[in-house]
Amino acid sequence: MSSVSDVPEEPVGHGHGHPETTPDTDWRAELRAKGYRLTPQRELILGAIDELGHATPEEVLAHVKTQVSSVNASTVYRTLEVLEDLGLVRHAHLSDRAPTYHSVAGHEHFHLKCRTCGEVVSVDVEVASALTDRLRSDHGFVVDTGHLTVFGQCQACTAT
């Protein structure tokens, strides 16, 4: 199972900031503004998402544990919820099983998943505008494009 991206999935993430109001200091400030606390676990988990690109809670836990072995699974679940509430990460369902989290630092995108080879491709939300526009005008339905996962078969697997 491979994984590719069309969208610049740069792991620029939320770190490596300059002074003042970079995205780096931003999220820490917003976190506190909402009454949350800034803990090492939260920084580590957000960092893991940034580095991993797409990751299940379990994968996040494994990654974080390589740095701090004591971190617990329930903390990962609770933290991912907080980070999603802050708009720092999002999740999509790339398999019938566990959800997959990804950073929102890059461009907003949705996913194509090939059922045959398992490849996951990130696509800019603009590509879906024809559908989302139509659903809004015809049904008054406002689509959460960033959560969208489109299943099907990729070019390589269709050719074969």
Report how far residue 13's alpha carbon sits from residue 35's, in angstroms, rounded to the nearest whole number: 23
How many CA atoms within 13 Å lie on the side-chain side of 34? 12
Residues 51 to 90 in contact with DNA, rule: CB under 7 A: 56-58, 68, 70-75, 77-79, 82
Q: Which of 43, 99, 107, 125 touches its own copies by CB under 8 A?
A: 99
What length is written for the chain? 160
Question: What are the structure tokens assigned to 11, written together?
Answer: 């792991």
Question: What are the structure tokens assigned to 92, written together?
Answer: 């999509």
Minimum CB distance to its own copies, residue 18 (Å): 36
Residue 105 CB: number of other CB atoms within 10 A? Answer: 19
Decide which of DNA, its own copies, none touches 73; Cβ closer than 5 to 8 Å per partner kind: DNA
The one-letter amino acid code at 104 reads V
Report how far residue 31's alpha carbon sits from residue 79's, in angstroms, rounded to the nearest whole number: 12
3-state secondary structure of 105: coil
20 contacts its own copies (rule: CB under 8 A): no
Decide which of its own copies, DNA, none touches 38; Cβ closer than 5 to 8 Å per partner kind: DNA
Most distant pair of Cα atoms in the chain: their distance: 54
42 contacts DNA (rule: CB under 7 A): yes
89 contacts its own copies (rule: CB under 8 A): no
Binding-site ranges for its own copies (CB under 8 A): 6, 93, 96, 99, 112, 114-115, 121, 123, 127-128, 130-131, 134-135, 138-144, 147-148, 150-155, 158-159
Binding footprint of DNA on the chain (CB under 7 A): 32, 35-42, 56-58, 68, 70-75, 77-79, 82, 97-99
